[in-house]
Each structure stands twice: as C-alpha cells, then as structure tokens.
Amino acid sequence: MKRKSVFPSLFLTLVMIFLYLPIVMVVVYSFHESKYTYGWSGFSLQWYQELFQDEELFESLRNSLAVAGMSCLSAAVIGTLGAFGLSRMKFRGKGAVEYVTTLPIMIPEIILGMVFLSFFSLLNLPQGMVTLVIAHTAFSIPYVFMMVKARLAGMELSLEEAARDLGAGPVRAFFDITLPLIAPAVASGSLLAFAMSFDDVVISIFVTGPKVTTLPIRIYTRIKFGVTPEINALCTLMLLVTVTVLLLSVLIGRIGNRKK
C-alpha cells in the first residue's frame, strides 16, 4: 500500500499560516488593553470605544460609503448594459473589445491613478467627490461586466424571442425577461465592486482633494506615525464588512447559478 505524502498538507498549512497569521494578529491585538503589541496584558474593548468617538474617522467612513455606493450603482448600470449590448452584437473584433473592457483589472493601480490624475487635470476638473466617483466607477465596471457577461452566456435567447413574438418591444423584453434572470449576477458584481471601491487606497490618493478623505486614506496617513490599537480595531471592523460583502456576493452568485 502506497503511503500518502505529508508534504502537500504541510505546504498548504505553511501557506495558510503565512497568509492569515498577520490578519489574526491584528484582530487579536484590537482587543488588547495595552497600546503596545508585545506580550498580552488583558482583554479590553476600550479601543473600540475610542474608535466610535473619533469624528474624523467617521467622517471618512461616510465619504467612503458615499463614493462606494455611487460608483457601485453607476458601475452596475454601465456594466450591465455593456455586457448585454456586447452579447447581442456580432462583429469582427468583438473579442478584442471584451478584452479591453476588462483591462482596468489587470493594469496596476498606481498607473491607473496617474492616468486619472492626468485626465482630470486636462479637463480642469477639481479633485474631490466627483473625481473619486468617476475613477472608482471606471475600475469597478469590469467586475459587473464579467459577472453579467458570464450569466448572459448561459441564458437561452429563445426566452427573449418568445417575448418578442408575443408583442413585447426590446425594452419591455429586457426588463420583464432578461433583467430578472441576470439580477443575481448584477447583484453579485455590484457587491464585489462596492468592496473593491471601499478598500481602495492607491487610486484614491491620486484623485481625491484636500476636502474629501476616504477611510483607507485616513488609515494610511495615521499609520505613518505607528499602528495604534484603535487602527487595529478599525481594520477588524473593515475586515468584517469586506468579508461579509464578498460572502454575500458569492452566495448570490451561487443562487443565480442554481436558477439556470
């Protein structure tokens, strides 16, 4: 009988420890009563209390939620319509167009940030909430586009054709037949776009103005002077929100796949 090798299990364990140990340490020390990260002197919720009394952080949180919400809605509309239109068209170079549409995901964020900064400077557009929403919408569209495109690829055109035969126009057929069927993909892509926008730092630094600071930028500026337990508490809450959004995205995607 052949003995099983322990190397794959050991390798997987080491990789998981390498990936998740820093996250676990941040969560653990957010409950540490001392502001120092060496040793363990006791459990405390004082850093969460201080966090909820910090007006600057909550103002930054409101800005991040506003930017993520608006860019998510815009990306949902543009990405859905783009995927639907492209799936119904047949022309030479269609594959190239699909590839170009997903480029923002593959381009490094620092390059995207510099591109947006140059573009807004050429337009003389003041940096602030508007530029943040435009930039976040641009790099969020591919997430919705890919989800909806995959869903449309598995949908039968006969359903739309039947609606058209019964007298429904293109718009009526889209809202009554197509949109309900692709809704799980739209929701899943939108949640993913929201999470990516909410967590963004690099692009936001290039396109934000002095009067608008998002939460990730606020955290980045504070950790220059050292990581405090209050930042650990905030990171723990952000991690919880991000994981929840991503899990909802996966769950909605699976529900959509079961309905195929």
Task: Give the ranges where 102-178 is alpha helix by DSSP (H).
Answer: 103-106, 109-122, 129-153, 158-165, 170-173
What is the pTM assigned to this prediction? 0.77
Token pair for 186: 């739209």
What is the pLDDT, as a whole number, of residue 218? 86
The closest of 182, 224, 242, 230 to 57, measured between CA atoms, is 230
Can you list the residues of the chain whose pLDDT is less than 50?
1
Nearest 5°: CA angle at 144, between 153 and 121? 135
Cα 168 from chain centre: 36
The terminus-to-terminus CA distance of the chain in angstroms comes to 44
What is the pLDDT, as a whole number, of residue 3? 57
Domain residue spans of the chain:
54-258
What is the pLDDT, as a whole number, of residue 79? 92
What is the pLDDT, as a whole number, of residue 155? 75
Radius of gyration in angstroms for the set of CA atoms belonging to the chain, rounded to a whole number: 23
What is the pLDDT, as a whole number, of residue 1? 47
What is the pLDDT, as a whole number, of residue 67? 93
The domain over range 54-258 is classified in CATH as 1.10.3720.10: yes
Distance CA(57)–CA(70), nearest Å, equals 20
